[in-house]
Chain A
Amino acid sequence: MNLRQKLLLLFSLTVAAAVAAVAWTVLVRIRLVFEQRDQQETALFVSQFQREFQHRSAEVAAAVDHIAASERVRTMAFQLVQSGDAAPYLTEAQTLAQDAQLDFLEIVGPDGKIVSSAQWPARFGYFEPIAWVDQPTFLKTEDLPDGTSALGLFAIRAVGRSESTAQPVHIIGGKRLDKSFLADLPAAPGMQIALYKEADQSPSTEQPHLGPDFAVFDPKRLINATGEVPYAARYEHLIDTAFNSRQETSAILYLTDHREDSVNATAIPLKSDRGEVLAVLTVSISRSGMVQAQQHIRAIAYGVAAGGILFAILCSLWIAAKVSRPIEQLARAAEQVAAGNWETHVPERSRDEVGLLARSFNHMTAELVSQRERLVQTERVAAWRELARRLAHELKNPLFPLQLTVENLIRARALSPEEFDEVFRESTQTLGMEIANLKTIIGRFSDFSKMPKPELERIDVREVLDRVFSFYDAATPDGNAIHFQTRFPTEPLLINVDPELIHRALCNLVLNAMDAMPNGGTLTLSTNENGEKVEIRVADTGEGMTPEECERLFTPYYTTKQHGTGLGLAIVQSVIADHAGTIAVESRPAGGATFVITLPRSSC
């Protein structure tokens, strides 16, 4: 991963993390605020509902009180107690209920039997338990002729209770808790009120065919002011919990697969005086506002994150332009310098650290060039000096005899002709030898100075080595202490070289190896592939060289031999370099030496 990508990743993560943190905080806060608001609204509604409930209770109680106190009812009660004949009052409850605008009204005689019932006229004569006399109002489920039951708010009053009457007549009146009741409740906007009435769970003597398992949740029994509640089945668990725990219960309900359709629902159990839950009032507040706000914030967060990432990209590009590109340029320049192009220059575009680095680099390369020039100059001077020294040394040897010979000739001129002729013959012979020697020396210098340009051919390196091996192995007389061996791979190793120049170079190395083993040894020619390169090794088991000798080995005119120009290895190095290869030596004192030539492999 380069700097640009790291910067991009860093900026993107920073922006995304920051946006995510802020968005998460805001979302949590929104949720808390909305939930708090919902709780407050629900609590407010509950208190309002309780007030409305009390108001209704008071209405029912007042209506029943009025009925019980009416002259008509008191007269009826008196007649009932006196005569015990309830037949004339069969329809009385209906009339009284209609007048008092009550949904339920029953007149119960002194014997506890129903005299008249407004909601179920045919129930006359059946016993009605009077168990709520001490309650001002109470909740009760009332059975109806059609087999259903209704939840109502009831009040019970005794008529004309006195010491003379053992059991008085009772008036039980009530009002339904139904859709109209729900419609009158003060619901806030977005709030849904519903009522779930459980079916009668106890096997009734009037309905013995109904089994005990009659408490299965029925979505149709959950009603609101307009009728059935949509998605009523989703309320099952909440309502069941309220029924079982007999406590107010809250939960978030997802009415559909969409979060906007979720609601904060609270279930309020409505209990009878004995504590059993007769119905559950559900208050649902839509969470669509909160969900929409959250979605809006998420969208903004995504947008900001996307914008942030885009900004991060731009920043990273800008930073890359400002920082990494100059650094990359520096790196490329350094590569070029390493490749030998010391003239490399990087632009200095800024005054900051990067600019300082560029200036330092340019200064370094300038210094390197200058130093190289000086070094080259120095080496050239040194080389010239060495050349001059070597030349002087090489030329001095043959020149001294030449000088002596000329001096002898000059002195021999004073001799007799016969002695002069002899001296002249010897001297001319000596002159010829030394002049030939001079010509040889000068010829070697000339050869070194003008190496021919290689004419490349694609050949198998094994053929070249085999040719060298064959030449020297055949040329070596029997009994020589030097043993020649080869190690070649079975597969051909193709290289693009000038066969003659490589042959000369290898011959030079073989001769040096032979010179290094005056007392015999083993000379090994081997080759192998090394990736995209081909290695050629010429190894001897001679005296070896010190590390210092290895360093200077390829310097022109450097030699460890008593005689020789010292140009042989320099020529080998030049040939190898002309073939884009390298040559190195591995050696230690008394450990022999191995020259390793590395040449590029010919591509197929």
Chain B
Amino acid sequence: MLAENQFLIQLTDAGDGKHPPCCVGTGPFQLAQGLPLSLVANENYWGGRPFVDKVEIVTHRSVRDQWLDLSVGRADLVEVPAEELRQAQQQHLTVVSSPPVTLLALAVSDSSLLSNPNLRSAIALAVDRSALSNVIFQKQGEVTASMLPGALTGYSFLFPTDRDLNKAHEVRGGLNTPPLTLAAENNPIMQLAAQRLALNLHEAGFNVQVANAATVLHKDLALLQLTLASSQPQAALESMLRSVGVVTPVVENTPAGLYKTEREFLGTHTLIPLLYLPRAFAISGRVRDLRLSPDGSPILAGVSLEDAQ
């Protein structure tokens, strides 16, 4: 939606003394005002001036409030979390959703308590992806054990997703650990998912306490949401690895190479992919032609609004 920082070209001064300096990139909109966030159409956009003149973005609104705003006409575009998709459909909202672009994964620290790879392997075998997908995310997610979605690579099915509690016990081999900390974002659905994972791990013999990621200092486990940054598998994989601290560039661009890279990395069990979730938005009746980019973000440049009567 906004040009990323690495694409920022310049901070220009309009020169007329009337308009404040603003960031000007190559995107379709320019920043007009900081708070509330307000964007105006970039007349000089290389792809042609957008249809809408102005976009106002209101942040820090709960999903319920966003939907309320949508229903009373105060908003044209609101978020629909994956777990609320079914309900949004039941409420007959106009929903635009992307393919699964957000990876829900469990990051496992390989230092101190979980330095033993068998313990990490037992954790990977103990997680129950189907419960997360079917219940918590209301069947809107795609169970996965790979970093890239199957739609992008085609080899996702090669990574087993089934839970094997017996093998988890076998691999753990009676090793005991002190209580582990599982950090998750302080929103209800992530906390619920973390609690469910903690239960799964309890059954495998791990004592896991869920904590708020913003306040906990030490994390043995972390529930992450990683966004697919590109529709190109190599770039997407490299971006995803970079986001979990692996800075080595991905040189392979063939499916076999990418599979091997993924397999090698996932074999360390420091990242356990769980689900791929779509991004979705509900729109008002006057919004036309809203499309989502590969990462699931809305492309506002092509959006038009039906004129108000």
User: Chain A residues near B209 (CB, 8 Å)?
Assistant: 146-147
User: Chain B residues near A145 (CB, 8 Å)?
Assistant: 195, 198, 210
Contact of B196 among A88, A122, A208 (CB under 8 A): A122
Query: B106-137 vs A: 1/0 string, CB under 8 Å?
Result: 00000000000000000000000001001110
Chain B residue at smallest Cβ distance from A207: B202
A88 contacts B138, C-beta separation under 8 Å: yes
Contact of B195 among A87, A120, A125, A208 (CB under 8 A): A120
Is residue A258 within 8 Å, beta carbon to beta carbon, of the partner chain? no
User: Chain B residues near A87 (CB, 8 Å)?
Assistant: 134-135, 138-139
Contact of B135 among A124, A147, A207 (CB under 8 A): A124
Distance in angstroms between the alpha carbons of A126 and B200 in the assembled complex: 11
A122 contacts B134, C-beta separation under 8 Å: no
Distance in angstroms between the alpha carbons of A124 and B207 in the assembled complex: 19
Distance in angstroms between the alpha carbons of A120 and B195 in the assembled complex: 8
Query: B152-184 vs A: 1/0 string, CB under 8 Å?
Result: 000000000000000000000000100000000
B138 contacts A121, C-beta separation under 8 Å: no
A209 contacts B210, C-beta separation under 8 Å: no
A residues 94-135 touching B (CB-CB < 8 Å): 120-126
A125 contacts B135, C-beta separation under 8 Å: yes
- B41 CB to nearest A CB, Å: 41
Query: B193-226 vs A: 1/0 string, CB under 8 Å?
Result: 0011011001101010110000000000000000
A209 contacts B195, C-beta separation under 8 Å: no
Contact of A206 among B131, B136, B138, B202 (CB under 8 A): B202
A86 contacts B135, C-beta separation under 8 Å: yes
Main secondary structure of the interface of B (DSSP, over half): helix
Chain B interface residue count, Cβ-Cβ cutoff 8 angstroms = 19
Is residue B86 within 8 Å, beta carbon to beta carbon, of the partner chain? yes
B residues 65-90 touching A (CB-CB < 8 Å): 86
A90 contacts B136, C-beta separation under 8 Å: yes
User: Chain B residues near A603 (CB, 8 Å)?
Assistant: none
Q: A88-B138, A208-B205, A209-B207 are in contact. Are A122 and B192 (CB under 8 A)?
A: yes
Distance in angstroms between the alpha carbons of A205 and B165 in the assembled complex: 13
- A33 CB to nearest B CB, Å: 53
User: Chain A residues near B207 (CB, 8 Å)?
Assistant: 147, 207, 209
Distance in angstroms between the alpha carbons of A147 and B131 in the assembled complex: 21
User: Chain A residues near B205 (CB, 8 Å)?
Assistant: 208-209
Chain A residue at smallest Cβ distance from B87: A88
- A288 CB to nearest B CB, Å: 43
User: Chain A residues near B86 (CB, 8 Å)?
Assistant: 88
User: Chain A residues near B138 (CB, 8 Å)?
Assistant: 87-88, 90
- A108 CB to nearest B CB, Å: 15
- B248 CB to nearest A CB, Å: 36
User: Chain A residues near B176 (CB, 8 Å)?
Assistant: 209
Distance in angstroms between the alpha carbons of A122 and B195 in the assembled complex: 6
Distance in angstroms between the alpha carbons of A123 and B135 in the assembled complex: 11
A206 contacts B135, C-beta separation under 8 Å: no
- B73 CB to nearest A CB, Å: 27
Distance in angstroms between the alpha carbons of A121 and B207 in the assembled complex: 18
A125 contacts B131, C-beta separation under 8 Å: yes
Q: A88-B86, A88-B138, A208-B205 are in contact. Are A121 and B192 (CB under 8 A)?
A: yes
- B258 CB to nearest A CB, Å: 33
- B293 CB to nearest A CB, Å: 29
Given contacts A146-B209, A209-B205, 10 further A-B contacts (CB under 8 A): A88-B138, A120-B195, A121-B195, A122-B195, A122-B196, A125-B131, A125-B135, A145-B198, A205-B203, A208-B202
What are 8 contact pairs spanning A and B, CB under 8 A? A88-B86, A122-B195, A125-B131, A147-B209, A205-B203, A207-B207, A208-B205, A209-B207
Going nearest first, the 3 A-B pairs with the smallest beta carbon separation are A122-B195, A122-B196, A87-B135
